[in-house]
């Protein structure tokens, strides 16, 4: 299984946990607000359109979605105005981190992020210190048994996918942002959709080969995403399947 598949499988499991905790709507609201800052019309803003689609898939009420859009466009001016900011830094084992935040108080947010990182052998770096390691891409993860993977891989490439990685029973399709919707809709005709997103993918993965460091990395992600100001965390680490299995027990 590819590094990206393992990483995004971890995120997928966490998303299910967040939903059980009642946090999923708050997270969607942050991401919608961030996307709407580039324009509030979903027809002209593909990132916003896809972010709203994900929220609706999780049964987020339309009124919550509309409210989040208006916050992003500035139409809704109640309370303190929110700003988007991204911090770059490092975590255990030298992993790279990009931490996207939506905040009404940058001083509070950076202090909180710095505190969490320091608890896990991490630190905030200068702007640009790790951003060059990532590219913004569309990512689709589908259920696909082994006997269907070769044909579906060829179909995805014909549709314009940049890369396709296979897992035990999954396909991970990497696309440009522009092609994400088209490819997703076509592949959904044959496969169950596990997840899709516009995300930052690393050019290369850092393999974490020891259980202690892997546990710290996962705990760091959990704690960062517990912060109300943090909307999304991207990283470049990979964990071997045997270590992931041990940590899941």
**pTM for the complete prediction?**
0.79
Q: What is the pLDDT of residue 24?
A: 81
- Our CA angle for 146, 148, 152, nearest 5°, is 120
Q: What are phi and psi of 76, to 5 degrees?
A: -100, 110
Q: What is the pLDDT of residue 22?
A: 57
Neighbours of 2 (CB within 10 A): 17
Element (H, E) at 88: strand 83-90
| Residue spans of alpha helices (H) in the chain | 3-20, 24-36, 46-57, 62-73, 106-118, 146-159, 180-187, 211-226, 241-248
Q: What is the pLDDT of residue 46?
A: 85
Q: Which residue has the higher pLDDT, 79 or 210?
A: 210
What distance in Å separates the CA atoms of residue 210 and residue 159, rounded to the nearest whole number? 39
User: For the domain 83-132+204-248, what is the CATH superfamily, name and number?
Assistant: YebC, transcriptional regulation domain (3.30.70.980)
CATH 3.30.70.980 domain locations along the chain: 83-132+204-248, 133-202
Mean pLDDT of the chain: 87
pLDDT per position as a tens digit, 3-52: 344 555 555 555 555 555 457 888 888 889 989 988 999 988 988 998 99
Question: Which candidate, 51, 64, 80, places its Cα nearest to that of 232?
Answer: 51
Q: Tell me, which fold does domain 133-202 have in CATH? A: Alpha-Beta Plaits (3.30.70)
CATH 1.10.10.200 domain locations along the chain: 3-73
Q: What is the pLDDT of residue 1?
A: 28
Q: Which residue has the higher pLDDT, 150 or 76?
A: 150
| Residues 6+ away with beta carbon under 8 Å from 63 | none
Beta strands at 237-238 and 206-207: parallel, antiparallel or unpaired: parallel
3.90.1410.10, 1.10.10.200, 1.10.150.120, 1.10.540.10: which CATH number matches 3-73? Answer: 1.10.10.200
201 and 173 in contact (C-beta within 8 Å)? no
Q: State the chain's maximal CA–CA distance in angstroms.
A: 54
Res 228 pLDDT > 90: no
């Amino acid at each position: 299984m590819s590094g990206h598949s393992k990483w995004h499988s971890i995120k997928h499991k966490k998303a299910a946990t967040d939903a059980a905790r009642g946090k999923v709507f708050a997270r969607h609201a942050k991401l919608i607000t961030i996307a709407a800052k580039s324009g509030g019309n979903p027809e002209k803003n593909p990132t916003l359109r896809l972010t709203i689609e994900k929220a609706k898939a999780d049964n987020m009420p339309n009124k919550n979605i509309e409210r989040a859009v208006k916050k992003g466009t500035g139409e809704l001016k109640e309370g303190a105005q929110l700003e988007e900011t991204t911090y770059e830094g490092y975590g255990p084992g030298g992993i790279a981190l990009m931490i996207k935040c939506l905040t009404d108080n940058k001083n509070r947010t950076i202090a909180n992020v710095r505190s969490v990182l320091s608890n896990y052998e991490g630190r905030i770096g200068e702007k640009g210190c790790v951003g060059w390691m990532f590219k913004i891409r569309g990512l689709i993860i589908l259920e696909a048994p082994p006997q269907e993977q070769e044909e579906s891989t060829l179909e995805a490439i014909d549709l314009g996918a940049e890369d396709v990685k296979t897992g035990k029973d999954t396909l991970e399709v990497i696309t440009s942002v522009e092609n994400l919707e088209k490819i997703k809709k076509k592949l959904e005709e044959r496969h169950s959709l596990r997840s899709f997103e516009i995300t930052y993918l690393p050019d290369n993965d850092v393999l974490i080969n020891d259980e202690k460091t892997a546990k710290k990395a996962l705990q760091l992600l959990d704690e960062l995403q517990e912060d109300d100001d943090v909307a999304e965390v991207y990283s470049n680490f990979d964990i071997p399947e045997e270590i992931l299995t041990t940590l899941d027990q």
